[in-house]
Structure 1
C-alpha cells in the first residue's frame, strides 16, 4: 500500500510508516492511499464472526491491515490490542451501540447511538489517539529516534492527544488552543497536566488561527526536519484510518445481514470524523447516507447545499455551545474534494491553493461532480442552532438518555434525513464536558465520572503565545 499527496507536486509515493511520522506532505497536501481496498460480502461476514469471537481490536487489526503493510501483522495486532481494550475504555465492547427510545425515533430502522466517548478523556478523539500513541511509540523505537508533536485543538483533540502520548518515550507535545474558546472542563483536562514533555499554548485567536500556525510551522521544511515535527491532528492519515474502524464495527453491530444498508449522522467541523465515513463508503461498506451536521458555523453545510466553499474570518466564526465544531476551515475537506474531482491534483490545487489563497473561497456548483454528489458519495447535510441543541438535549433527557451538545446537533440533523434504514449517530463526548449547556437544557448538573473528581479545582499550567509562526518556532526551539 502506497500513499500520495492530494497536491502531488512531485508524484511521490510513500509507505505508511513514513507518513505516520510526517503528518503533512512536503507539498502542503494531505496523504491518501493510491486506491481504496474493496470490501465484499465474504469479508464482511468474516469480520462479523471475528467481532463476535475476538472483539473490537481483532476487527481493527483486519481493517488497518488493508492499509498498513510495513508493520508486521503480529506487531500490528499487538498495537491494536493495547490501544482498544476494556482497561483503556469503559467496556470490552470499546464501542457499544444502543437504539434510542421509540418515542424519539422517526425512522423505521431506528436511530442508534454509537458510544465513542468511553475512553480516558471522555471524547471520541480517544478512539484514534490511543492507537496513534501506540503507533508512534512503536515506530520511534524501531527507528531509534524522537518526535515533536505539534497540534491544534478546538476542545477534545488536545486532551486526547496529551493523555495518549503522556509518558511515552521520545515524544514531546506542543498543543495550541484558542484562548477562552473551550469549556472549563476541556481546559482543565489539558492544563492540569504537569509534565515537562507536555506544553499547552493559548493563542489569541480562534481554532482556525491555531490550525494555520501548525500548517505554517510544518511548512518550514528545514525547521520541521531539525526538530522532527509530527502531527496528531486529523491531517495525519493514521487518525482517519483509526476512525474508519468504528464505522465498520458500528455497522456490524447494528445490522444482521452482510448487504444491509445504514446511514451515519456525524457532527463535524474539521471533516475528519466524517472523512473516515466517506472512505468506508468508498471501500464498499453498505452506507446509504453520510449525514453531515454542523452548528452555526455552517461552512460545510453550505458547501453540500450550494457547492460554494467559503472560509469565514475569525470575526465571523461564532463561539457556540458546541465549541469543538467552531471551525471555518476544514482541514480534511481537501481529502474529499480530491476524490470528488476525480483525484486530479491540478484541479485540486486550483481550488485549495490558488482560489482559497486569493479569494478565500471556491465554487463547484456548476461542475458535473457536484451535481451527483449525493448519488456518488452519499452526502446530505444540515445545521443546528443553540436552541436546537437545548431542545434536543432536554427531550432526550426526558427519555432517559443524556447527550452532549455536539451529539445533539447530529441528532437534530439526523431526524431530517431519517429513512427506512438504521441511522447511526456518532457520539462526540460525555455530557460532563459541557455542563453549562446541560444545565440549561435539563436543569440538572451532569454526573461527573469518578475519574474526573476534583479536575476543575486542579492547578493549571498553560503559556500564552502570540498568533505568530515565528514566536511559535522560538518557543519550540527553546524546549526541544
Structure 2
C-alpha cells in the first residue's frame, strides 16, 4: 500500500512514513494511491466476526505488511478490549429502519477512542522499533484531546501536547484531559477558538525548527491517515449487522472536521454498498452550505451547545475535494490556495452534482437541538447527546429510500454535555462508574495567549525540562 499527498508533491510514501508524518510536506493530506477492494463475497465472509477481528481484516490491507500481522492483531485486540460494551459499537433501534450506532463505549466516552486507542499503540510500536522519540501535537474541540491522551499516556516514546480553546469545551471534556497527570502529558488552553488551535498545529508542522534536535512532531488529529483507517471499520460493522452487503445502508454522521464521514466514503470506495452519506452540522455549517449550494466559505464561528462541531474549516474535506477534482494534485493545490487567500471555494456544477448523488446534508441550530433531544426522549426514552441528535434530526429532513436501513453515528455519551441536556428540560445522566470522581480529581493545564510563538515557547520549555 502506497500513499500520496492530495496536493501532488513528494511522491509515494509507505504506511509508516504517513503514520509518523501526519501532514504531507506540501501541506496536503495523505490518501491511499489506490483503495483495497473487497468483493461482495469477501464482505459476506466477514459476517459474524467480533469487532476486533473485523477490524483486523479491514485495516490489514492499509498497513500492507509493514507491521507483522500477529503484532497488528495484538494491538487491535488491546485497543478494544477495555470498551464497556462487548459489542464495542452496539446498534440501538429507534424506529423502523433507523438505528443508532453507539460509538461512546470507549474509555473517554466518544467515537475518537476507536481510532486513538489504536493510533497510540501504532506510534509506540513504530517509534520503539526505530529507537526514536516523538512529540504528539494536536488540537481538540473537545473529544480528540482526551482520547489522544488516553491512547498515548503510557507510551515511553511519546510526549503529548494538546491544544484546546480556553473555556470553549464542556467541563467534563476539559477534566477528561486535564486530570491526566502523567509527566509526558501537557494540556494547553489557548485563548481563542478551535480553528485558531488547529491553525497553530498546522503551522508548527510546517516549520518544526523550534523543536530540539532529533525531535519531530506526530499528528493525532484526523489529518493522520491512521485515524480515518480505523474509523472505516465501524461502517462495515453496522452494514454487516443490518443485512449488508446484500442491501444498501444509509449513514447520518454528525461532523465538523469531515473525518468521521470521510471514513464512510472510503468504506464505499472499498466496495461496501452505501446508498447515502448525510452530513449533519450545527450552526457552523460550512459543509452543509457546500452540499446544498456549492458554497464552501468561511463565516464567523459560533459557540454552540454541540462544541465538538464548532469548526469553521473542515480539515478532512480536502481529501474529498481531491477525488472531486479527479485526483489532480495541482488543481487541488490551486483550489486550496484560492481558499486560503479568499476564504471561499466552489467546484464546477457537474462535479458538484456528481458528488451530491452520494452526499446530502442538514443543519441544526441550538434551539432545534434542545427540542429534538426532548422529542426523542419523550418518544423513545433514548437520551442523545447534542451532536448525535443532529444526525437523528437530519434523517427527518433529507430524502432517503424508506426501505433502506439508516444508521446514525452516535458520537459521544450525553453525560459529557449536561448543559444541552438540561436546556432540553431533562436530567443529565450520572457519570459512568470509572469516572465517578472526575469532578474531584486534581487538574493540571496552562493557559496561553492565542499566538503561535507563545505555544511554541511553551513546548520548547517543557521539552527542555
Give me the TM-score of the superposition, normalised by structure 1. 0.93
1:91 maps to 2:85: yes
Per-residue CA shift, 1:111-152, capped at 9, x if unaligned?
A: 101010000010111111111111111111111111100000
User: What is the match of residue 252 of structure 2?
Assistant: 265
Q: Map residues 136-175 of structure 1 onto 2, 5 A cutoff.
A: 136-175=123-162
Q: Map residues 56-455 of structure 1 onto 2, 5 A cutoff.
A: 56-69=51-64, 70-85=66-81, 88-100=82-94, 102=95, 110-223=97-210, 226-255=214-243, 257-312=244-299, 316-352=300-336, 354-364=337-347, 366-375=348-357, 378-398=358-378, 399-417=380-398, 418-419=400-401, 420-455=403-438
CA distance in 2, matches of 1:28, 1:226: 22
Provide the aligned C-alpha RMSD in A.
Answer: 1.3
> Given that residues 146 and 173 in structure 2 are in contact (C-alpha distance below 8 angstroms), is that contact kept between their aligned partners in structure 1?
yes
Q: Secondary structure at the match of 2:462?
A: coil
Higher mean C-alpha displacement, 468-477 vs 212-221: 468-477
Once the two structures are TM-superposed, the CA of residue 170 in structure 1 deviates from its matched residue by 1.2
Q: Secondary structure at the match of 1:288?
A: strand
Per-residue CA shift, 1:45-81, capped at 9, x if unaligned?
A: 11114x1xxx111111111111111111121111111
Q: Secondary structure at the match of 2:356?
A: helix
CA distance in 2, matches of 1:174, 1:188: 15
CA distance in 2, matches of 1:421, 1:415: 14
CA distance in 2, matches of 1:467, 1:356: 23
Q: Secondary structure at the match of 1:131?
A: helix
> Given that residues 227 and 477 in structure 1 are in contact (C-alpha distance below 8 angstroms), is that contact kept between their aligned partners in structure 2?
no
> Given that residues 26 and 221 in structure 1 are in contact (C-alpha distance below 8 angstroms), is that contact kept between their aligned partners in structure 2?
no
CA distance in 2, matches of 1:2, 1:462: 39
> Given that residues 385 and 412 in structure 2 are in contact (C-alpha distance below 8 angstroms), is that contact kept between their aligned partners in structure 1?
yes
Once the two structures are TM-superposed, the CA of residue 242 in structure 1 deviates from its matched residue by 0.5
> Given that residues 397 and 442 in structure 1 are in contact (C-alpha distance below 8 angstroms), is that contact kept between their aligned partners in structure 2?
no
User: What is the match of residue 14 of structure 1?
Assistant: 13
1:479 to 442, 450, 462: 462
Q: Secondary structure at the match of 2:301?
A: coil
Q: Secondary structure at the match of 2:63?
A: coil
CA distance in 2, matches of 1:176, 1:445: 27
CA distance in 1, matches of 2:431, 2:78: 26
Gaps of 5+ in 2: none
Per-residue CA shift, 1:152-177, capped at 9, x if unaligned?
A: 00000001110111121111110000
Per-residue CA shift, 1:85-112, capped at 9, x if unaligned?
A: 2xx1012211111211x3xx5xxxx110
Distance of aligned partners of 1:150 and 1:393 in 2 relative to their CA distance in 1, 3 Å threshold:
same
CA distance in 1, matches of 2:152, 2:20: 14
> Given that residues 210 and 460 in structure 2 are in contact (C-alpha distance below 8 angstroms), is that contact kept between their aligned partners in structure 1?
no
CA distance in 2, matches of 1:183, 1:470: 27
Q: Secondary structure at the match of 1:84?
A: helix
Once the two structures are TM-superposed, the CA of residue 35 in structure 1 deviates from its matched residue by 1.0
Distance of aligned partners of 1:473 and 1:226 in 2 relative to their CA distance in 1, 3 Å threshold:
farther
Per-residue CA shift, 1:281-331, capped at 9, x if unaligned?
A: 11121100000000000000000111121023xxx1000000000001100
Q: Secondary structure at the match of 1:239?
A: helix
Aligned pairs, how many? Answer: 458
Give me the TM-score of the superposition, normalised by structure 2. 0.96
> Given that residues 181 and 319 in structure 1 are in contact (C-alpha distance below 8 angstroms), is that contact kept between their aligned partners in structure 2?
yes
CA distance in 2, matches of 1:262, 1:390: 28
CA distance in 1, matches of 2:128, 2:34: 29
